[in-house]
Each structure stands twice: as C-alpha cells, then as structure tokens.
Amino acid sequence: MKSFLKLLSRYLDQKSCPQALDWDNIQGLSTDQLALYENLYAPASVEKSLKKLAVLKLNGGLGSTMGIHGAKSALEVTKGITFLDMTIQQIRHVNLSYNVDVPLIFMTSSNTYDDTLRITKKYTNQPVRITLFNQSRYPQVTEGTYHPCPKSADDPRMWYPPGHGDLFTALNHSGVLDSLLSDGKEYLFVSNSDNLGATIDPKILQHMIDNNSEFVIEVTDKTTKDDIGGAIVNYEGTVRLVELDQVPPEHAEDFKSAKQFKSFNTNNLWIDLKAIKRAMSIGELELDIIEKIIPTDNDRRIQLETAAASAVKHFDRPKVINVPRERFLPVKTCSDLLLIKSDVYQVKNGHLVPNYNRTFQSTPAIKLSEQFRNIDDFQRRFKTVPNIADLDLLTVTGDVYFGRSVTLRGTIIIAASEGKRIDIPDGCVLENTLLTGSLDMIDL
C-alpha cells in the first residue's frame, strides 16, 4: 500500500495547489526528437539485437466497454485463436526464425490472471518462455473525504488495477526486472495486448540502440476518429506525454485538432531495462496522475491511475518514431473487432497482415450502433463475419441482424426504424446500398 499512499498524497497536494501545463510551452517535436519509420534501417545482425530483447504485454484490462467480464485478450480473432494465442505465436515465430530466446511477459491483474494462465499454459513445451505477474491493486477512495472505500480485501468492486503506469513498480516488486537483467536482457518492448499491430520490429530496436536511447515511443498519424488520444510533445525542451485532461479547457479543441498535433501515442514503448532499474533504485517514478470518477447510487468514487508513456520524462535521450498505421490496430469496440476478424486481414504466424488481394488497400470505416456494443449482442447479430474485402464504409443503426456468408461492398448504410427490425439473409450481397425502415429476409 506504500505506492498507493504516495500516489494519493501527491494527488491531494495537486488538488490543494493545482499546476496546469503552460499551453505556450507545448510545442511540436523537434527533428532531433522525432524520426520517421521509413528512414530507419535494418540492423546488420538481427539476431544480435534480438538476443537483448524481452517483450511485455499490458494485459490487465477487462474490456468492460464491450461487456466483457474476463480478459479482453481472451477474445477469438479467428476460430480457436485468441489475442493471446496470436501474441505467443508471434514470439515463437521470431525465436524459431532467428534462433533466439525472446521471453514473453504478461502483466495481468486480478481480473485477467486466470484467463491468461488458462490460455498460455497450452504453450508450456513451445520455444517461447512465458512469464505472468500481477500488477498492483489499489482501493477506490470516496470523493470529498478521500478515505479508502473497501471494507475488506475481498470486495472486487472497490479495488482496481491502477493503469499501465504501474508497470515500473510492479515489474520491480515482482522480481521480473531483476530476472530479465540477470538473463542478459537489455531492452523491453511494451504494448497493449489488444493492439494486434504491435509486433517486434528490428528496425525500431536498432534505432534505439544506435541512439543510445533509454525510452522510445511510437506515434502514428491522427485520423478523424483519433481526437482524444494523448500526444507526445516537446514541453520546455523535453519529450512529454500530454493527455486531454491536462490541457487548459480553452485549448481543448486546439489539442484535439490534427492541424497542430498531427500524431498521437500508440502506447508501443521500447525501454532500457538498466535505466528502469536505475530509476527505481532512486525511488518510485512520479508519473502524471489520471483521475477517474466512478458514480454510484450513494456517492462518487475516485480511481487514481497513471500511464506508462508519461514515464518518458524520467529517462535520458528519449526518441519518438512516427510509425505506419499498421502498427496500431487496437480493439476498443465491437466495430474494431468486426474489422480485425474480417477478410480485410489475414493471420500469418500470429501476425495480422493486410489482405493484398483486396481491390483497395485503405481500411474500411465501420460504425456499429449501441445495439452492437456488447460482445454478446455482437455475436448474436452476426451469424458469421461478413465478407468486407471490398467495403469502403459500413454504418449500422438500430435492430439489425446479419445472416451467414453476407458480402458487403462499397458504401453500406443500414438504419432500422425505431421499433422495426432489418434482417440481412444468408448469402446476401449488398453493394453501395442504403437500407432503412424495416426489412424481412424475403424482401431481399
């Protein structure tokens, strides 16, 4: 609880004496701080650099926004293959291809440990070393009094994993950090377990080594749906993560605009393990605090969290790399899930790769309404995932059901009227179609 009490103390200090970021000091990254992926080059010896690498997946999230009660990473991408399976298969392929031993670590929470263990234990005799450790568990506090809410350690509703910024403390306290260092590992590639684009990239690792950088952050260009992600900026001459809630309210729209901040944080991080050990030996890293308000019937509770990328200010010679969108394929909604499960992509050696047989290589835009928000509703409304290789745009609102082997091409807009239902029959092919009102299978 020492770590929690320190975090709470810092939070209360900031409440009593707020220190907002100076907007005039938030600048774009300099050419020394930012590199473009296309300008990187492959190492002369991939094997040599990979022998120094370990991979860690942030796997503490439940996916509650999708109605998932277990680990989101336990969702299937293809039949019998989950996010976790794909990650393990990626590392296994790298180890076999280069004759190296890149270990794979999952930072879980009390909410996700059992699901993760169930899936990973299938790979006990495979050429990939897998380690699991739980991140910390903090109590919610009551707004106003700031007293811890839990009456006991057994009430899961009032305890929570305090964000992926807990990585550094949990890695150190678990003994995993010392184990990696004693094993000769020097670099740690960290990413979210739901980002299927976050794979080992020898060019990024070599860029880190060549620049003697202790912390590398991958960013990617914004699109119209990326208006709330954190930005990596130059703040008073240093690389820093800035989140929307840290920005003065009068500049919120400026911050979200792609004109001024063209890229955002993917949370793909490359970190020097010795530098983590050095920083933790001095004391716990003081990361920017994220306040989350949890309303209840009787009161409002507060969760204090931190983000891993905000640790960049504690490391020397940080670098930022603007990477292709293919390295950022997160699944935050069922719309995202439909895309990665579709024939827009193929799975090869655990990697999600574009289907190059498609007519157009741009990624389809998919927007499913509230009726598809929960995973159970999503699975009930799609008998099978439609063929969308030639889809440009799909918008679905209302009470809509899709049959088996449906094909969607071009721009498809389906809007069921309130109180009405639309059924797309098995084998149906829709191309540049607008459907509204109500529709029975026999109508098509």
Predicted confidence at residue 227, as pLDDT, reads: 66
What's the rounded Cα separation, in Å, for the pair 95 and 82? 20
Vertex 105: Cα angle to 114 and 155 (nearest 5): 35
Predicted confidence at residue 441, as pLDDT, reads: 47
Question: Is 194 a known ligand-binding residue?
Answer: yes
Find the range with the poorest average confidence among 136-150, 152-166, 178-192, 265-279.
152-166
Predicted confidence at residue 228, as pLDDT, reads: 66
Which two structure tokens, joined as six digits, stand for 204? 């990024």
Predicted confidence at residue 253, as pLDDT, reads: 85
Active site residues: 332
- Sketch the domain layout of the chain as residue ranges: 2-327, 334-443
Which two structure tokens, joined as six digits, stand for 155? 């009430």
What's the rounded Cα separation, in Å, for the pair 351 and 394? 25
pLDDT digits (tens, 9 = 90+) for 177-196: 999 999 999 999 999 999 99
Mean pLDDT of 324-336: 94
The 3-state DSSP class for residue 314 equals helix
Residue 22 confidence class, pLDDT cut points 50, 70, 90: confident
Helices and strands, number each (H, E), in the chain: 11, 26
Q: Which CATH architecture has domain 2-327?
A: Alpha-Beta Complex (3.90)
The answer to whether 344 and 335 have CB atoms below 8 angstroms apart is no
Select from 3.30.70.270, 3.40.640.10, 2.160.10.10, 3.40.50.10190 the CATH code of 334-443. 2.160.10.10
- Strand runs labelled E in 201-309: 215-221, 231-235, 238-242, 263-272, 289-295, 300-306
pTM for the structure as a whole: 0.94
Mean pLDDT, the chain, rounded, equals 92
DSSP 90: H
What's the rounded Cα separation, in Å, for the pair 206 and 43? 6
Predicted confidence at residue 442, as pLDDT, reads: 45
Q: What amino acid is encoded at 238 in this protein?
A: T
Q: Is the pLDDT of residue 229 over 90?
A: no
Question: Is 135 a known ligand-binding residue?
Answer: yes
Q: Is the pLDDT of residue 166 over 60?
A: yes
DSSP H/E element including 13: helix 2-16
Question: Is 163 a known ligand-binding residue?
Answer: yes
What's the rounded Cα separation, in Å, for the pair 188 and 95? 16
Per 3-state DSSP, the chain is made up of helix, strand and coil in percentages (nearest 5) of: 30, 30, 40
Which two structure tokens, joined as six digits, stand for 221? 């260009």
Question: Is 319 a known ligand-binding residue?
Answer: no
- Strand runs labelled E in 48-193: 53-59, 76-78, 81-82, 104-108, 130-134, 138-139, 141-142, 159-160, 187-192
Predicted confidence at residue 155, as pLDDT, reads: 76
